[in-house]
Structure 1
């Protein structure tokens, strides 16, 4: 199930980011407006438009968030492996899981080490 969701979300995210989508959306809006003008824009038309747009926007936000979370996790795993295989201190591994004060202390320590090396 999880594999299927990832496959569908990857396909939808790549489709949502395709360069043809803005042109298709503009064409859809033009057709939607023409049909609405033909029916004199009943109240249900506005309700349907607002509901449709809200659902699509919510869906795209969820897709982008899902893709961004997966990319961030992959990036952190790659960085952890680079740290592990280099001469850098292993205390930097999984730094993103620490609280903001601990990260700031690590950053200050790192800046101090750089300043010592330059002096």
Structure 2
């Protein structure tokens, strides 16, 4: 089930980010306005437009957030492996899971080790 959601999510995000979708949305908007003009824009027309727009926006937001979360987890995993295989201190591994104060302390410690004349 999880891999199906990932597959559907990846396809939806790729489709939503495709440039052909922009042209399709412009054409759909023009048709929507033309049909609305022919019916003199009844009140239900505006309610339906608002509801559909809100639902689509919410759906795309969730898909993009899911995709970004997965990408960030993969990026953090790759960075952790680079830290493990390098001469960097292992205390940097999983720094994103620490609280803000600890991250700021680690950043300040790193800044203190950089020579002043370095640009």
Q: Give your verdict on TM over 0.5.
A: yes
CA apart distance, 1:22: 1.1
Is 1:85 the counterpart of 2:110 in the alignment?
A: no
5+ residue gaps in structure 1? none
CA distance in 2, matches of 1:80, 1:39: 59
CA distance in 1, matches of 2:44, 2:70: 39
5+ residue gaps in structure 2? none
CA apart distance, 1:6: 0.4
Greater than 6 Å deviation, 4+ residue runs:
none
What TM-score results when the alignment is normalised by the length of structure 2? 0.95
CA apart distance, 1:40: 1.2
Residues 39-58 of structure 1 correspond to what in structure 2 (within 5 A)?
Answer: 39-58=39-58
String of CA shifts for 1:70-99, please: whole Å, max 9, x gaps.
010000000000000000000000000001
Of the structure 1 ranges 106-115 and 77-86, higher mean CA displacement relative to structure 2 is found in: 106-115
Please give the root-mean-square deviation of Cα atoms over the aligned residues, in Å. Answer: 1.4
What TM-score results when the alignment is normalised by the length of structure 1? 0.95
